[in-house]
Amino acid sequence: MKISPEFEDLTLKQLESFGCSMGVTHLVIYLASAKKSSKATFEMIAQWPQVERLLASIEDDPSLKVSSPNRRWYPLQEKDILLGVLRVETELKNGNWPLILDSRLKALSISLAKCVSIEIERQTNNEELNILKNQVDIIIHQLRNPLAAIRTYAKLLVKRLGSDLGSIEIVESMLVEQNQINQYVDSFEQLNKPIKLLLDIGEERLLLPPNLDNEKKITIQDLLLPILERGKANAKLENRAWNQPIFWPEWTLTAIEPKFVVIAEIVANLLENAFKYANRDAEIGIFITSKGLCIFDDGKKITKNEKEKIFQKGFRGSASKKKEGTGVGLFLARKLAKQIGGELSLLESSSKCNNDELKALKKKNMFYLELPIKELHE
């Protein structure tokens, strides 16, 4: 194991904190080392007091092979694995070691063993992360060429279609999606570099990349239009009714703060669930109010018993039992909503608590994302 400066400093401080205690004159830490085609040995990595000499292994110090009443060895052990040893030298005569000294040294050896175990795990994780980052870099690089080729072929197809406006519209939609994938690739490339995340997302990863360009001005309409176009295409493919806004309130047309781009993630999650779980003939759509967004479907109504459970991580409602999924979408959507000061809830169509704008929208399942409108544009 290659010793990092931070690990060496930590072990030295632990030894120093114990030094000059109850007759202890010398403390030395050895780590188990085994190279290919050679027998295992113990390499010295730290000692107290520090002296100006090369750190030697146990094999290279003949004096350590002779027993002494003033010396004891304490194993640095993690479960069944021997990671190293702690050598303790004292000025005690006749090997009369106080019980409290022995207990404290055992506690020190346990603490040092845990430090070694954590350092080994840290180094292993760093090596794995570096390998993964290199692989991601390669994949991103390899994705560029086919994406560019798809765009080229699509443009050639537009020219060949001539006056077939219906087909041209489909190809142009493909170009929009190709451009969106390019943006995802760009974002993954940025995520593979050290960055400061805008939000404390936790253990979940965003399904859509965040807006990494803080200088880019973007509106709620900019965020939602690509998602709505995708929803419209899905509805057409499934031959189901689709409903999207014609009128866009002023708050959706003004540039927002970068952290609010996760609204696109929330809406995408809700629409994905609607298309996945609503009946094939059920209408799906989005309705905009003066305070937020309502994503609805007219499929099988979610029961009152499941109204809150569906927001729990891993929970899957009765409508999703026979379909693929992880039960994370709604959990993540609500979590993101709260992180930006909003609230995501499942409304009852007949509820008296609904605002006037939503009372007329009588759909079986209505997920309402209430947003902090004033904070969006500050």
Tens-place pLDDT, residues 303-361: 888 888 888 877 766 665 555 555 677 888 898 899 999 999 998 765 655 677 787 78
Determine, yes or no, domain membership for 202: no
* Domains contained in the chain, number: 2
Determine, yes or no, domain membership for 270: yes
24-51 pLDDT tens trace: 888 888 888 766 556 667 888 888 886 6
Is 137 buried (19+), middle (13-18) or exposed (0-12) by CB count in 10 A? middle
* Same domain for 113 and 231: no
- Domain boundary residue, one of 128, 148, 171: 128
Determine, yes or no, domain membership for 231: yes
Q: Which residue has the higher pLDDT, 289 or 59?
A: 289
* Same domain for 357 and 259: yes
Q: Report the distance separating Cα 174 and Cα 229, nearest Å.
A: 11
Q: What is residue 128's predicted lDDT score, i.e. its pLDDT?
A: 87
Residue 333: C-alpha distances to residues 274, 294, 297 (Å): 14, 13, 17
* Same domain for 232 and 368: yes
Determine, yes or no, domain membership for 203: no
Q: The CATH number of the domain where 38 resides is what?
A: 3.30.450.40
145-201 pLDDT tens trace: 677 777 777 888 888 888 888 888 888 888 877 777 877 777 777 766 664 544 444
* Same domain for 358 and 223: yes
Q: Report the distance separating Cα 119 and Cα 3, nearest Å.
A: 9
Q: The CATH number of the domain where 222 resides is what?
A: 3.30.565.10
- Domain boundary residue, one of 128, 157, 177: 128
Q: Which of 78-92, 213-227, 250-264, 315-329 has the lowest mean pLDDT?
A: 315-329
Residues 6+ apart with CB under 8 A from 81: none
Q: What is residue 46's predicted lDDT score, i.e. its pLDDT?
A: 84
* Same domain for 119 and 242: no
What is the strand order of the sheet 24-33 is part of?
41-48, 24-33, 81-90, 71-78
- Domain boundary residue, one of 108, 128, 148: 128
Give the structural domain span for 227: 214-376
Q: What is residue 289's predicted lDDT score, i.e. its pLDDT?
A: 92
Q: What is residue 207's predicted lDDT score, i.e. its pLDDT?
A: 42
pTM of this structure: 0.54
